[in-house]
């Protein structure tokens, strides 16, 4: 924190991405901008890409939420947790039902963002200190994926695209300014109040315009349209790799549920960091703590499958401009060639001379040309 000019008591902001299975922690620096502090891999989230709409749909929410101190639970059944605040005003405007959507320990999700105990302990401490430092509530931004122009162009035919465009506007405002987007809900839509500082608002407007242009260029360029499907949510690849390694060494826990809906990892030593250069940067989060209960492990094999809805279209080749032939020739070294026995041309029946020439400066570009002539005796 000191290296980023921030402190434990400074305001905090969290950003969650389902497809990438990551939660980012941002802290406000002394200059008023939020700076990235740390990224945590999500051990388990559930459902599909898209917002949560009703109780029991197993959807992890998407949107802009506020977490106050009263939503922190130090006595959670899942070690530590905090309620992200679903349903918010947007969700209620669309009839959303459900409650107790958490960030918590233990790798089991039925609509929550589940972390390991070690991870949630660190996240909990960060948000607790910020709230104790005077922040009345921190913003929790939940997205289907990183809201890049490419991701939006590829998911342009998805049924949630209108909703995701609203999320992208808030994401862009934060990316451009480093300031928390000022969010309200009007007419069942997220609306973003302009920043008080005109210079800051200008940065946000410029970013929005540039991103819209990028999306349009990608679509016009023929980028494919896809739909991403999940059997029931996903997890960060680092956890998947660690579970596979544990199973390969015989240290994975036994399957105790007859329906094979849960798995328990009990051997902490199974998750020792891989010393190879390709080791996960998140391995330290799992050592020495185990994952605990893993919800629906069989569904993870069918996570993140992309269905191409509109195939990519090849761009037409660039027009070929005619080559200019230089009018003047600059003599280059003479190369002697052997006569060819396969040609009836007189030129090939006797020694010949190959003369290379190039256009003189300042012509651009330079083109090599060649002239053949029979060698006189």
State the greatest distance between any 2 C-alpha atoms of the chain, in Å, as a whole number: 104
- The pair of structure tokens assigned to 4 is 């980023």
- Report the DSSP beta bridge partners of residue 337: 352
Phi and psi dihedrals of 98, rounded to 5?
135, 165
104 a catalytic residue: yes
74: helix, coil or strand?
A: coil
Question: Cα separation of 178 and 193, whole Å?
Answer: 15
Q: Which of 43, 104, 107, 236 is catalytic?
A: 104
- Report the DSSP beta bridge partners of residue 139: 13, 66
Q: Which of 43, 107, 112, 236 is catalytic?
A: 112
Closest of 246, 297, 254, 303 to residue 272, by C-alpha: 246
Q: In which element (H, E) is residue 229 found? A: strand 225-229
> What is the rounded (10 degree) CA torsion for 110, 48, 214, 316?
150
Question: Cα separation of 63 and 87, whole Å?
Answer: 10
Residue 349 to residues 339, 354, 371, Cα–Cα distance (Å): 5, 14, 17
Q: CB atoms < 10 A from the CB of 194, how many?
A: 13
Query: CA 368, 374, 377 angle in degrees (round to 5)?
Result: 135
Residue 99: exposed, middle, or buried by beta-carbon count in 10 A (0-12, 13-18, 19+)? exposed
Active site residues: 104, 112
């Amino acid at each position: 924190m000191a290296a980023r000019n921030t402190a434990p008591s400074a305001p905090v902001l969290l950003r969650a991405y389902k497809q990438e299975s990551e939660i980012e922690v941002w802290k406000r620096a002394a200059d008023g901008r939020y700076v990235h502090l740390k990224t945590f891999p999500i051990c388990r989230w559930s459902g599909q890409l898209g917002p949560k709409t009703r109780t029991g749909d197993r959807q992890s929410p998407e949107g802009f939420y506020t977490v106050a101190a009263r939503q922190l639970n130090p006595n959670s059944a899942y070690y530590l947790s905090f309620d992200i605040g679903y349903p918010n005003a947007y969700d209620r405007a669309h009839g959303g039902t459900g409650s107790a959507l958490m960030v918590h320990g233990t790798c089991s999700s039925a609509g929550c963002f589940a972390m390991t105990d070690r991870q949630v302990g660190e996240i909990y401490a960060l948000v607790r200190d910020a709230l104790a430092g005077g922040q009345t509530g921190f913003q929790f931004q939940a997205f289907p994926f990183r809201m890049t122009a490419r991701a939006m162009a590829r998911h342009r035919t998805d049924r949630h695209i209108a909703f995701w465009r609203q999320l992208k506007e808030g994401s862009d405002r934060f990316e451009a300014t480093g300031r928390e987007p000022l969010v309200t809900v009007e007419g069942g839509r997220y609306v973003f109040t302009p920043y008080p500082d005109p210079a800051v608002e200008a940065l946000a407007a410029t970013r929005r315009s540039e991103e819209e242009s990028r999306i349009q260029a990608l679509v016009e360029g023929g980028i494919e349209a896809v739909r991403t499907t999940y059997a029931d949510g996903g997890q960060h690849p680092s956890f998947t790799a660690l579970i596979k390694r544990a199973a390969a060494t015989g240290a994975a826990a036994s399957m105790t549920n007859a329906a094979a809906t849960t798995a328990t990892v009990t051997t902490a030593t199974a998750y020792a960091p891989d010393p190879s250069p390709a080791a996960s940067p998140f391995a330290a989060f799992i050592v020495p703590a185990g994952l605990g209960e893993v919800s629906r492990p069989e569904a993870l094999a069918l996570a993140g499958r992309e269905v191409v809805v509109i195939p990519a279209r090849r761009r037409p080749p660039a027009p070929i401009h005619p080559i200019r032939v230089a009018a003047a020739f600059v003599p280059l070294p003479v190369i002697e060639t052997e006569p060819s026995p396969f040609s009836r041309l007189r030129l090939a029946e006797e020694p010949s001379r190959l003369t290379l020439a190039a256009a003189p400066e300042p012509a651009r570009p330079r083109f090599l040309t060649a002239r053949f002539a029979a060698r006189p005796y």
